[in-house]
Amino acid sequence: DDPQLSSERRKPKVPLQPVVTTDFSLIRYISHPEQQMNQRFLAEWVTHIDQWLRQGKQIYFFVHCPVEARSPANARHIQQLLEQHGAPVPILPWNAIAPSPSQLSLF
């Protein structure tokens, strides 16, 4: 199921212009809830982001998903792709964060 198909406010279809004309850029990536559906788009973004970072540009990459519960996993996946690509990104402490404790059952 594609959540975009039933969206009340569909986004306009405009051509993507992956060009940074200043020393920084804010990119809002609206991801698909199913991670594999993002792969071909993310491969392009990883290449662009790596190039811009190596040019000394500051890149702020904001990940959104129509199913908000999936946004953190999608953000983590993009970080992993950037690291695997060798992009000059800081290592984030994803794995060092302890999981939230679960509530014990009373029944």
Note the pTM of the prediction, 2 decimals.
0.76
Say which residue, 31 or 100, is predicted with more confidence. 31
Q: Would you say 58 and 88 are in contact if contact means Cβ atoms under 8 Å apart?
A: no
Domain ranges within the chain, ordered by starting residue: 24-90
pLDDT of residue 11: 66
DSSP, collapsed to helix, strand or coil, labels residue 25 as: strand
In sequence order, what are the residues at sequence separation of 6 or more whose Cβ sits closer than 8 angstroms to the Cβ of residue 60? 24, 25, 26, 27
pLDDT of residue 22: 94
Confidence class of residue 6 from pLDDT cuts 50, 70 and 90?
Answer: low
DSSP, collapsed to helix, strand or coil, labels residue 56 as: coil
Q: What is the pLDDT of residues 46-71, one digit of tens each?
A: 999 999 999 999 999 999 898 989 99
DSSP, collapsed to helix, strand or coil, labels residue 28 as: strand
